[in-house]
Structure formats: structure tokens, C-alpha cells
Amino acid sequence: MEKKHLIGTIFTLGSLPVAEMISGAGFDWVMIDMEHSVLSLEDVQRALPVFGNKILRIVRVPCNDETWIKRVLDTGCDGIMVPMVKTRQDAEKMVLASKYPPAGQRSVGLTRAHGYGASFSEYLAGANSDLIIMAQIEHAEGVQNIDSILNVRGIDAIFIGPYDLSASMGLPGQVQHPEVIMAIRNVKNKCADAAMPYGIFASGPEPLRQEIDDGCRYILCGVDSSLMSSSLRDLSDRLHKMIQ
């Protein structure tokens, strides 16, 4: 049976041992972040086989750009997340770049996605339906245009970005501000009405309890660099207290 909620975390460091640890930790999916990291296409392609097939591998592309989307999908990932989708036109552009003709305009080449040609026909036959295409709603304009965005065929999920959304509303970092919460609730309600799965990020597990109760499908929590940094600081603090 397909899981109702998929638990994931964010990969930014490019370290293959870190990718291996995330894959072995029991997560359902990982967001490989090319927008807010120094990850290169080569880093992504090297990490994908380390993550393996037991975890859903979604790459957040740097921007809504046809070349970036094409090159990232050619790595063989399971799907993409496109940041800053603000309008119906943004959503249409994203879908066109992600789908092979006649549904879109993704170009065809011999890449890792189909074993450098070994499974060329099989990949092309299923890519349009199998790849997960996420539109990230993280700006007040995207919230305002959510109805028209949801009407674009080819989007598989909406992902809400609370932090950039709060910044676009003049409330940077205030993700618990009533106006930000209201905007997020509006997106969630619209997704529910359209039977569109949605996801959301939180820095820790506690704020996600309500999201799980609300039916959020793609739960995203924590960033590899932050988790490592906080664990090291905690260890250092505990050791220093022991010698005081």
C-alpha cells in the first residue's frame, strides 16, 4: 500500500557518506538542493546511485529554467522541485520543460537517466508519467495565483516554502505570524479542493504534527549541514560542562 505521508530531509553537502547515511536512516524521500547549496550536476549524479532506489530522490533545480530542468532530469533523478512558481505562466513553463513531446518540449539525448541508451525506449515511454514534478509556492504572488497554478496539467505536487513566503510578505522568518499561517492555510485548502498532494518544510519535527494531521504528503524536516552543526555544538557544550 502506498504511504499516506512521506518523511524526508534535505541534502546539501555533496558528501557521498552523508548520502549513504540519509539513505540508510529510514527516510522515504530526500530533497537534493541545488538552489541553496554549492552542489553541481556532477555532485548530484554521483549521489543518486548512493541514495539508491529505496528512497525517492527529488532535485530542487536552481531556477525555473529549461536548460537546468533538462540537465537535472537527465541525471536519472525521480523528479524535480521548481522554486518560486508565482504564476500560471511559470507553472506552464516548468511542465513544458519537464515533459517529452507531445506533452512538452524536453529534448531527447543519451544520458544516465536511461542507462546511456540501454533502456532508452522504456525510459521515454514512461518518463512523462513517472517523474514527479513539484511546483514550489513560496511567494505571496504564488499564493494569490494558486487557483490558476493548480489548473496547469502535469504538476504532481505543490511544495510550500514558509520562509521565503514570509519574506515576500514583509515578515522574514516569521513563519508563525498569523498572516503567514493564513496564506499557507489558503494554499493547503486549495490543494485539498483540487486533490493535489502538497508538501511543506519545517526545521524540526514538532511543527509538523499539525501538517501530518492536515494530510500533508511530503513532509520535509532538517538540513544535513544544520543537523551536523547542531549535533557538534551540542556535543561540544556537553563536554565543556563536564570539565567546568
Residues with a catalytic annotation lie at 36
Residue 3: its pLDDT value, please? 78
Residue 202: its pLDDT value, please? 85
β-strand partners of 46 = none
Residue 93: its pLDDT value, please? 98
Q: What is the mean pLDDT of each run of 10 residues along the chain (244 residues)?
A: 85 97 96 97 97 95 97 97 98 98 95 94 95 98 98 97 96 95 96 96 84 92 94 94 90
Phi, psi of 28 (to 5 degrees): -85, -30
pTM: 0.94
Residue 1: its pLDDT value, please? 39
* Angle subtended at Cα 160 by Cα 143 and Cα 63, rounded to the nearest 5 degrees: 90
Chain-centroid distance of CA 125 in Å reads: 24
**Cell numbers representing residue 199 in the block:** 508538501
Burial per residue of 230-243, b for 16 or more beta-carbon CB atoms within 10 angstroms, e otherwise = eeeeeeeeeeeeee
